[in-house]
Structure 1
Amino acid sequence: MEYYNNIVLKWSTEYLAATIILGGTAYGLWLLFYRPFDLFQDYTELGFEQISNGRKFKNNAAKRHIINQYRERRKNGDLPPSYPNGWFAVLESNELKRNTVREVDALGLNLVAWRGESGKCYVADAYCPHLGAHLGVGGKVAKECIECPFHGWQFDGVSENLVSIPNVDPVPPFVKLKTWPVHESFGFIYIWYHAENEKPLWWPDIVTEVENGHWKYRGRSEIRVACHIQEIPENGPDSAHLNVVHSSPITNGTNTNELRVSSSFFKHVWTASWAPNSDPDREHEALMRVYHHILFFNKISCFHITVDVHQIGPGIVHMYFETIFGKGILIQNVTPVEPMMQRVVHRFYSSPTFVHPLGLLVLHGEAIQVCVLLISKFQRDPPE
């Protein structure tokens, strides 16, 4: 009996070990070849190292409070308009399911977004014109309408009109809820903002390969940045900074404890040209072509990439990648949350031949290089 028990125990041990190995391998392959990239970095992680280094904070709230104090003490001078005219991403499409409501804060506005039974998305001012209830907190979807959680008033997303009041017929024809022009594509929900309330003067570019599903979604990153919106897109024409700020390997991130590689062994090399779009119908767009390669030991050149950059208005950037592995697009959206706070979101899509691990590397590298830029550009010692 003991002999058979030992055999059973041995088989059980071997079976458990094999299960762990196979499970771990499968999980590793899933991480590497299937799971989309997803990164979030708060503004307190970027550009304030001189405040946080060597300090012990009781909690994140204490750190945020001290950093906000330094932000308020900075001498910014006269700022350009904080909310320029254009299309801005206020949500990602997967954040708003059918027949659901979301509260949205962007462009210094309190907004409500909902997706009707048809699947169409609507964005409106958040407060009910009746008694000011917030439609994004407890509001409901009724077909294509948003229903106020206070008295059940229903506003149509298409016409802006008040269409129903419980036990009241007819409804007052003059009551409306201000809605915003909405455009939804490649995973983002955009609204048109204009300081003088003009209708859209242009529309975001359509990326056919993404819209028809031929290119695969590889992941996203989101970074909060404590700066003015103008400071981010102005880096497009500033090609002189590329070989100064972005020459270091992507492993050389913002944390001094991260793995670092000597630039004499490995570095990025950039060449770029920039010009406004000559098409009279595309005056809101600027074009940049970037040539990139990696240089090993200052001699061996490899991993050549051509990137065509389209700066579309103040808040949208399309970066078209062309490599030996295939093509892809990195979509960047910069949305002002408040005058000196921006939400920067990237999504990367690529052709099936552009293998998933390489897509993850592009997203990771972009996030690292953006952080390096932000720290080098926006980190300033607080005034005395």
Structure 2
Amino acid sequence: EYLAIAVIAAAVAYCVWLLFYRPFDFFRDFTELGFEQISNKRKYGSDAKKRYIINECRNRREIGDLPPVYPNGWFAILESDEVLKSTVKEVDVLGLNLVVWRGESGKCYVSDAYCPHLGAHLGVGGLGNFEGCSGKLVSIPNVNPVPPFANLKMWPVFEAYGFVYIWHHAENEEPSWWPDAVPEVESGQWKYRGRSVFRVACHIQEIPENGSDSAHFNVVHSSPFTTGSNPDESQLKKNFIKHVWSASWAPNSDLDRKHEALMRVTHFIKLFNKISCFHFTVDVHQIGPGIVLMYFETVLGKGILIQNVTPLEPMLQRVMHRFYSSPTFLHPIALLIMYGEVVQISKDIRIWNRKKFLRNPVFTKEDKQIRAFRRWYSQFYSENSLKWLPNTGSTLRHEKLYYK
């Protein structure tokens, strides 16, 4: 009898933890979206064979006339809780091999991965000691004196919102702007509700450009999350719930904040095509080429969804989200919102994974925001930004700016 009570109590406690305390945590690879025609295991066999076929599809894909593949700006390379004191993390982003570590002071440092002495990878077994601030080589086993010119390249680092950022610039310029502070997150006033991570097979510009395409919201995102990320026509016809969206996009008119674009998204749910409910507005700040801060306010409280887009390769992006909200925001509702976000962005990823980038598409008058976005985004490319050579996997220096 007591054992049964203990088991029931443990089960109830576990359910309470799942619903009210456990943060949302989700990962989805690009291979899961947009390749449904080869998802039949009976036909294609193992996951390894499926992945091989998907990579063949990627190699044959027409990618279009791409802008440079690594824009200038701040990019999230890790989540802060991944970097512990006295440990070294290996990171490959933006065509770079980097190592990340946290000093005893708690400050994060990022450097090139290879020791300037003999080229050992510092994340695998390099034994040199370096100053975190300057990258100066302090000591090498069995070498005295240390060569004064053997220094590591150190990268500007900024830590916020639970992420570690580095500044990347093709001309090696110092940071000209910094990501905005979110005091409610940094102080711990807003609670961490969860995260989602995606790998997306497209050019980085496709992802933030999506926000300026206001027409796509009611085409791609009208169906509720209950129909999943790939609803068929029969599901949509039977569905009595519909998301209704409107959106505006514009660059910040303040010249000191030209790296920022502003967007406002309004939303409500329509039931039986008659009753409107669950109204909310999201104020979106696109900060540079790869950071998006989405502020919202509902009757339940306030919160923010933070999106980071970081190039792993020219045509492979990592998209990371973190969700924070006020303590009054019920955790089960936060989990529901995070799940809804996963479903909705998965609909976009299915398109991005198979999309061809058109440098000069056939714009209509309704697409003026997309044209404005491309002009604004071009500021993050410069003379030496790398351009990808399709079907070779290599890059070359960009010869001229796009969308001027």
Judge same fold: TM > 0.5, yes or no: yes
CA contact (8 A) 1:293 1:302 kept: yes
- Among 30, 33, 39, which residue is 1:52 paired with? 39
Matched, 1:303 2:278: yes
CA–CA distance in 1 between the matches of 2:350 and 2:37?
Answer: 11
The DSSP-based 3-state class of the residue aligned with 2:225 is coil
Partner of 1:106: 93
- Among 200, 206, 213, which residue is 1:238 paired with? 213
Structure 2 CA distance for partners of 1:94 and 1:56, relative to 1, 3 Å: farther
Structure 2 CA distance for partners of 1:230 and 1:202, relative to 1, 3 Å: same
- Among 70, 80, 84, which residue is 1:83 paired with? 70
CA contact (8 A) 1:38 1:219 kept: yes
RMSD: 1.9
Sequence identity percentage = 69
CA contact (8 A) 2:202 2:352 kept: no
The C-alpha deviation readout for 1:213-239, integer Å capped at 9, x for no partner, is 100000000011111101101011111
Query: Cα offset for 1:168?
Result: 4.0
Matched, 1:363 2:338: yes
Partner of 1:228: 203
Partner of 1:137: 124
Structure 2 CA distance for partners of 1:342 and 1:380, relative to 1, 3 Å: closer
In the TM superposition, 1:133-212 aligns within 5 A as 133-138=120-125, 148=126, 152-212=127-187
The DSSP-based 3-state class of the residue aligned with 1:44 is helix
CA–CA distance in 2 between the matches of 1:84 and 1:189?
Answer: 18
- Among 256, 259, 273, which residue is 1:284 paired with? 259
CA contact (8 A) 1:86 1:314 kept: yes
CA–CA distance in 1 between the matches of 2:141 and 2:7?
Answer: 60
Query: Cα offset for 1:51?
Result: 2.7
Structure 2 CA distance for partners of 1:263 and 1:105, relative to 1, 3 Å: farther
Aligned residue identity for 1:356: H
CA–CA distance in 2 between the matches of 1:82 and 1:55?
Answer: 37
CA contact (8 A) 1:245 1:376 kept: no
Partner of 2:287: 312
**How many residues align structurally?**
355
CA–CA distance in 1 between the matches of 2:290 and 2:32?
Answer: 22
Structure 2 CA distance for partners of 1:377 and 1:101, relative to 1, 3 Å: closer
- Among 320, 323, 338, which residue is 2:298 paired with? 323
CA–CA distance in 1 between the matches of 2:142 and 2:122?
Answer: 20
**Larger-gyration structure (1/2):** 1
CA–CA distance in 2 between the matches of 1:376 and 1:69?
Answer: 18
Partner of 1:346: 321
CA–CA distance in 2 between the matches of 1:180 and 1:264?
Answer: 51
Structure 2 CA distance for partners of 1:380 and 1:179, relative to 1, 3 Å: closer
CA–CA distance in 2 between the matches of 1:94 and 1:226?
Answer: 26
Provide the TM-score with structure 2 as the length reference. 0.84
Query: Cα offset for 1:78?
Result: 2.4
Structure 2 CA distance for partners of 1:134 and 1:176, relative to 1, 3 Å: same
CA–CA distance in 2 between the matches of 1:38 and 1:60?
Answer: 23
CA–CA distance in 2 between the matches of 1:284 and 1:380?
Answer: 26
Matched, 1:22 2:22: no
CA–CA distance in 2 between the matches of 1:60 and 1:48?
Answer: 13
CA–CA distance in 2 between the matches of 1:261 and 1:354?
Answer: 31
Matched, 1:69 2:52: no
Question: Tell me, which stretches of 5 or more residues in structure 1 are unaligned?
Answer: 1-11, 139-147
- Among 121, 126, 139, which residue is 2:113 paired with? 126
CA contact (8 A) 1:251 1:260 kept: no
Structure 2 CA distance for partners of 1:378 and 1:191, relative to 1, 3 Å: same
Q: Looking at both structures, which has the greater relative contact order when contacts are Cα pairs under 8 Å and sequence separation is at least 6?
A: 2
Question: Tell me, which stretches of 5 or more residues in structure 2 are unaligned?
Answer: 357-404
Structure 2 CA distance for partners of 1:263 and 1:327, relative to 1, 3 Å: farther
CA–CA distance in 2 between the matches of 1:333 and 1:60?
Answer: 29
The DSSP-based 3-state class of the residue aligned with 2:215 is helix
Provide the TM-score with structure 1 as the length reference. 0.88
Query: Cα offset for 1:261?
Result: 6.9
Query: Cα offset for 1:271?
Result: 1.4
The DSSP-based 3-state class of the residue aligned with 1:123 is strand
Query: Cα offset for 1:377?
Result: 4.5
Query: Cα offset for 1:19?
Result: 2.4
The DSSP-based 3-state class of the residue aligned with 1:224 is strand
CA–CA distance in 1 between the matches of 2:287 and 2:53?
Answer: 36
The DSSP-based 3-state class of the residue aligned with 2:9 is helix
